[in-house]
Amino acid sequence: MNCSADVATQELTEADAANRLMRLAREIARHNKLYHDGDAPEISDAEFDALVRENAELEAQYPHLIRPDSPSRQVGAAPSSALAKVAHARPMLSLENGFSEEEVREFLRRVRRFLSLPEDEPVTLTAEPKIDGLSCSLRYESGRLVLAATRGDGAVGEDVTPNARTIEDIPQELTGAPELLEVRGEVYMSKQDFAALNARQAEAASKVFANPRNAAAGSLRQKDPSITAARPLRFLMHGWGELSEPLAATQADAVERLRGLGFPVSELFRRCETIEDALAHYQAIEHSRAELPFDIDGVVYKVDRLDWQERLGSVGRAPRWALAHKFPAEKAETTLERIEVQVGRTGKLTPVGRLTPVGVGGVMVANVTLHNRDEIARLGLRQGDRVRIQRAGDVIPQVVENLSPDERRPAFAFPERCPQCGSEAVAEEGEVDVRCTGGLICPAQRIERLKHFVSRGAMDIEGLGEKTIEEFAALGWLHGPADIFRLREHRAELLGREGWKEKSVDNLLAAIDAKQGFDPARLLFGLGIRHIGIVTARDLLKAFGTIEALAEAAAGEDGIAELSRVEGVGPVVAEALHDFFHEPHNREQLAALLALARPAAFVNQARETEWTGKTIVFTGSLQTMSRDEAKAQAERLGARAAGSVSAKTDLVVAGPGAGSKLKKAEELGVRVVGEEEWARIVAAA
Ligand code: IVH
């Protein structure tokens, strides 16, 4: 893989892509958690952005590989346990990022296409700074502030009402407001206040914050509101959630109305008639960035017309009607002190660079990913080299240039043996990744697999994090996943260990017990078999019913052929399954695990509605919406939009000019409706 995500995604095989998406999901989740929970990020926002972007690009290329735990389906981190949780009446969305003018133009083209707008129809946008704080939703009932909540994971946030009441910018009471009004915006700390706060903290030998954003988050998310009150927090409004009545017909008018009710709005908020105006405003904001009293990391554009916003809706976690135009990556120079090679769950050897820590765009960076053997060779990297690194958006830092290349000296020698178990490390034909061939005898692979097994997308065992897995594995308690269900045998010993109290031990054991009778698809996914994501795990269970039946079929002589007949399973996946289940050690582990975990019977989890699983074909020219919008509507109803009519088609939506498909539908006796009737179906479902 390369430093540019575009190059990287193009070069991947499908199997690599699945693997990469899995790693991205984990990596992004981990950084999200660090960012939101610990207020102590390891990577810069730009680096984080690059990861999210790589994920989005891969998903665009391989939509069938989108994972249920994909970061594109989640927003931020799940709320931490210290504060009470509150479900948002309307989800708090995130934003899609763009990094160039071209991407902004593409955003507008997408909007036009989706709404099926003629070329000459103007699309007014709003443009405003993207404030680097944390978003907060303020709920007013009968003009009184009743609830303030952080974003959390977008669906559930944390109740910070008493804390928000201490923020001067946030009105406590409103006059002339709708009966029910949720105002959303950014809680932030000014650069000046941040510096003063940190000076005070340092003097008092208290925690010093990495940047204003972390200081704002740490100050708002306090159990004790008197601490929040002592912190100089500010608020800028940028949107709304649930409403009892519409605020206006456009974003700009709604913002004006909210400003009139007393909510602070950025002075740099503008209504832009054309994309050129919007881009010019971006330039202006970028120029004034250093002088602004608070940190910003880009400009947010929104489609001004609210009826269009409504139609555009959202995809994954982000609205189709908004775009964050991020400022370019920040770069810095430092020394690459060491190159270490880590071993992942599937045995992949990943080189990691340890740097002399250096500040890049407000965050100290000490580690960079070096991706793989080829990347080290491409940059000719050696330990001790001076390097230029970059952090773009919220992405993991990368080396973009070797500043002390020396062709006479060889680049870092990539290990030919696994640094953890000494087994041979090889690259499969045509693959850039080098893998340890040690399988389960490799302790690193074993531990990484266990971490994967308990992770959020798999068994999701609360209290059994990566550190705990490492601790238990070092004690010799965990060899395979079955041992997790035997941890109770070590209760007495665990109670004697530092950091473990009766309550935490019993909570952990209860969390494990609670996973008996769990979803077999997530258990299968949790086994960490190469190329088996949750979607494939579900497909396999749909075909075989139980993990036992799958294991038996896969291990058999004709395993590969039999597996290849399953929808969604290709030869690479079939071979990976065969290899895994053919291995006696894996079968023994699995038998022990199934005996202890006793997974539930598999149920297909799709939500049942009248249209679930139905097939709909759109034909002819649609007048009020684009094909994409029509398709999105069908998908929202749980139906599938197909390209051709067959006996399996349940409904044909025909617009003017419909030809052979309409004829075929009539011949087959398939129900045919017009666009108006379709709109009624959508409204009724
Ligand atoms: S609009 C429906 N406008 O950026 C989209 N968000 O990366 C909701 N943010 O969660 C967000 N400044 O916390 C919007 N002017 C602005 C913003 C802004 C900062 C934050 C917000 C959001 C995050 C997405």
**Contact of 331 with 271, CB cutoff 8 Å:** no
Q: What percent of the chain has pLDDT over 70?
A: 93
pLDDT for the residue 135: 96
**Inside any domain, residue 609:** no
Ligand 1 in contact with 324 (CB < 6 A)?
A: yes
Same domain, 529 and 666: no
Instruction: Give pLDDT, residue 1.
Output: 30
| CA 152 to ligand 1 center in whole angstroms | 13
Bridge partner residues of 369 (DSSP): 352, 398
Which residue has the least CA distance to atom 3 on ligand 1?
238
Residue 200 covered by a domain: yes
Residue burial 520-543, b: 16+ Cβ < 10 Å; e: rest: bbbbbbbbbbbbbbbbbbbbbbeb
Give dist(CA 60, CA 41) in Å, integer. Answer: 27
For ligand 1, atom 17, which residue shows the shortest CA distance? 130
Which atom belonging to ligand 1 lies closest to the Cα atom of 324?
7
The answer to whether 310 and 319 have CB atoms below 8 angstroms apart is no
Residue ID of nearest Cα to ligand 1 atom 2: 93
Instruction: Give the residue whose CA is nearest to atom 18 of ligand 1.
Output: 130
Q: Which atom in ligand 1 lies closest to the alpha carbon of residue 94?
A: 24
- Tens digit of each residue's pLDDT (9 = 90 or more) over 273-327: 999 999 999 999 998 988 899 999 999 999 999 999 999 999 878 999 999 999 8
Distance (Å) from CA 135 to ligand 1 centroid: 7
- Same domain, yes or no, for 463 and 588? yes
- Report how far residue 656's alpha carbon sits from residue 619's, in angstroms, rounded to the nearest whole number: 9
Task: Tell how far the Cα of 508 is from the centroid of ligand 1, in angstroms.
Answer: 36
Summarised one tens digit per residue, pLDDT across range 103-158 is 999 999 999 999 999 888 999 999 999 999 999 999 999 999 999 999 988 899 99
Enclosing domain of residue 599: 415-604
> For tokens 């978003």, what's the residue?
135
Q: Is the pLDDT of residue 4 over 70?
A: no
Residue in 135, 150, 235, 268 to alter for ligand 1 test, most ligand atoms within 8 A of Cβ = 135
Choice from 35, 53, 95 to test ligand 1 binding pocket (greatest atom count within 8 A of CB): 95
Task: Quote the crossing angle between the two packed helices 14-33 and 571-582, to the nearest 10°.
Answer: 70
- The ligand 1 atom at the shortest distance from the C-alpha of residue 134 is 13
- Bridge partners of 300, per DSSP, are 128, 324
Query: Is 186 a pocket residue for ligand 1 (Cβ < 6 Å)?
Result: yes
- The answer to whether the CB of 239 is under 6 A from ligand 1 is yes
Query: Rounded to whole angstroms, how far apart are CA atoms 635 and 632?
Result: 5
In a domain, residue 358? The reply is yes
Paired tokens of 628? 């994409």
Give the tokens for residue 112: 């036009």
187 CB less than 6 Å from ligand 1? no
Q: What is the CATH number of the domain that holds 338?
A: 2.40.50.140
- What is the C-alpha separation between 577 and 260, in angstroms, rounded? 62
Amino acid 5: pLDDT:
35
Ligand 1 atom closest to the Cα of residue 319 is 2
Averaged over 230-235, what is the pLDDT?
A: 96
Q: Report yes or no on 545 lying in a domain.
A: yes
- The pick from 130, 304, 315 for probing ligand 1's pocket by mutation, whose C-beta has the most ligand atoms within 8 angstroms, reads 130
CA of 294 relative to ligand 1 center, distance in Å: 15
**Token pair for residue 602?**
């598999």
CATH code for the domain in which residue 504 is found = 1.10.150.20
Q: Is residue 174 part of a domain?
A: yes
The residue-averaged pLDDT of 465-494 equals 94
Q: Kindly report the CA angle at 548 between 546 and 549, in degrees rounded to 5?
A: 70
Identify the three-state secondary structure at position 9: helix
Give the mean pLDDT of 230-253.
97
**Parallel, antiparallel, or unpaired: how do β-strands 322-326 and 97-98 relate?**
parallel
Mean pLDDT across 248-262: 98
In a domain, 530, yes or no: yes
What is the structure's pLDDT at 317?
83
Question: Which pLDDT belongs to residue 138?
Answer: 98
Q: Is residue 580 part of a domain?
A: yes
pLDDT over threshold 50, residue 8: no
Cite the DSSP H helix spans in 261-346: 275-288, 306-312
Ligand 1 center from residue 293 Cα (angstroms): 18
- CB of 322 closer than 6 angstroms to any ligand 1 atom: yes
Residue 361 pLDDT > 70:
no
> How far, in Å, from the CA of 128 to the mean position of ligand 1?
10
pLDDT, tens digit (0-9, with 9 covering 90-100), for 619-659:
988 888 888 888 878 877 777 878 889 988 999 999 888 88
Q: What are phi and psi of 13, to 5 degrees?
A: -80, 170
Are 434 and 363 in the same domain? no
Distance CA 110, CA 100 (A): 15
Cβ proximity of 465 and 484 under 8 Å: no
pLDDT at residue 14 in the model = 74
Residues 37 and 63 placed together within one structural domain of the fold: yes
Across the range 204-228, mean pLDDT stands at: 88
Whether 261 and 132 share a structural domain:
yes
Show the tokens assigned to 304: 């001004």
Query: 126 with 231, same domain?
Result: yes
Number of domains in the chain: 5
Residue nearest to atom 21 of ligand 1 (CA): 135
513-564: per-residue pLDDT in tens? 999 998 899 999 999 898 888 778 888 998 898 999 999 999 888 888 889 8
CA distance 343 to 392: 26
Q: Who's near 561: CB < 8 A, 6+ residues apart?
A: 574
Q: What is the pLDDT of residue 55?
A: 81
Do both 180 and 152 map to the same domain?
A: yes
User: Separation of 146 CA from ligand 1 center, angstroms?
Assistant: 22
Residue 37 is predicted with a pLDDT of 55
In the chain, the percentage of residues whose pLDDT exceeds 90 is 55
Kindly report, residue by residue over 20-46, the tens digit of the pLDDT: 888 888 888 777 777 655 556 677 666
The residue ranges of DSSP E strands in 52-133, in sequence order, are: 85-87, 97-98, 125-131
The answer on pLDDT for 337 being more than 80 is yes
Give the model's pLDDT for residue 628.
80
Q: From the centroid of its chain, how far is CA 247?
A: 31
The response to whether residue 94 sits with its C-beta less than 6 Å from ligand 1 reads yes
pTM above 0.85, yes or no: no
Q: Please answer whether residues 17 and 61 qualify as being in contact, where contact means their C-beta atoms are separated by less than 8 angstroms.
A: yes
Mean pLDDT calculated for residue range 577-603: 90
Same domain, 489 and 569: yes
The candidate with the shortest Cα–Cα distance to 216, out of 243, 198, 203, is: 198
Q: What is the rounded end-to-end Cα distance, in angstroms, of the chain?
A: 45
Q: Indicate if ligand 1 lies below 6 Å from the C-beta of 98.
A: no
Last residue of a domain, one of 304, 326, 348: 326
The residue among 26, 53, 73 that closes a domain is 73
Measuring from atom 14 of ligand 1, which residue has the nearest CA?
238
Structural contact between residues 599 and 517, judged by C-beta atoms closer than 8 angstroms: yes
Mean pLDDT in the chain?
88
Quote the ligand 1 centre to 10 CA distance (angstroms). Answer: 30
As a whole number, mean pLDDT of residues 63-80 equals 64
Residue 593 near ligand 1, beta carbon < 6 Å:
no
**Residue that finishes a domain, picked among 579, 604, 629:** 604
Active-site choice (130, 302, 326, 515): 130
Q: What is the pLDDT of residue 410?
A: 83
* Closest atom of ligand 1 relative to the 75 alpha carbon: 10
Q: Do residue 309 and residue 367 come from a single domain?
A: no
Tell me which of 467-476, 502-511, 563-572 is least confident. Answer: 563-572
Q: Is 130 in the pocket of ligand 1 (CB under 6 A)?
A: yes
Which atom, in ligand 1's list, is nearest to the CA of 93?
2
pLDDT the model gives residue 45: 65
What is the CB neighbour count within 10 angstroms for residue 660?
10
Distance from Cα 242 to the centre of ligand 1, integer Å: 16
Active site residue 130: yes
CATH of the domain at 651: 3.40.50.10190
- For residue range 162-207, what is the model confidence (pLDDT) as tens digits? 999 999 999 999 999 999 999 999 999 999 999 999 899 888 888 8
**Residue 565 and residue 440 in one domain:** yes
- CATH code of 112's domain: 3.30.470.30
Mark whether 294 and 354 lie in a shared domain: no
- Helix orientation angle between 443-454 and 466-474, rounded to the nearest 10 degrees: 140
Nearest CA to ligand 1 atom 23: 94
- The residue contributing the CA closest to ligand 1 atom 16 is 130
CA 130–ligand 1 middle distance (angstroms):
6
Could you give the CA distance from residue 213 to residue 332 in angstroms, rounded to a whole number? 21
CA 319 – ligand 1 centroid, Å: 11
- Whether ligand 1 lies within 6 angstroms of the CB of 519 is answered as no
To test the pocket of ligand 1, the residue of 93, 97, 153, 238 to mutate (highest count of ligand atoms within 8 Å of its CB) is 238
Q: In testing the pocket of ligand 1, which one of 125, 126, 186, 395 has its CB within 8 Å of the most ligand atoms?
A: 186
Q: Residue 585: CB partners within 8 Å, gap ≥ 6?
A: 440
**DSSP tag of 289:** G
Q: Is residue 50 part of a domain?
A: yes
Mutational test site, ligand 1, from 300, 314, 323, max ligand atoms within 8 Å of CB: 300
Question: What is the predicted pLDDT for the residue at 6?
Answer: 34
Residue 685 in tokens? 């479902």
Do 558 and 484 sit in the same domain of this protein?
yes
- What's the 320 CA to ligand 1 centre distance in angstroms? 13
**Is pLDDT at 610 greater than 70 in this prediction?**
yes
With 90 as the cut, is the pLDDT of residue 568 above it?
no
The per-residue pLDDT for range 406-452, each reduced to its tens digit, is 878 888 999 999 999 999 999 887 788 899 988 778 889 999 999 99
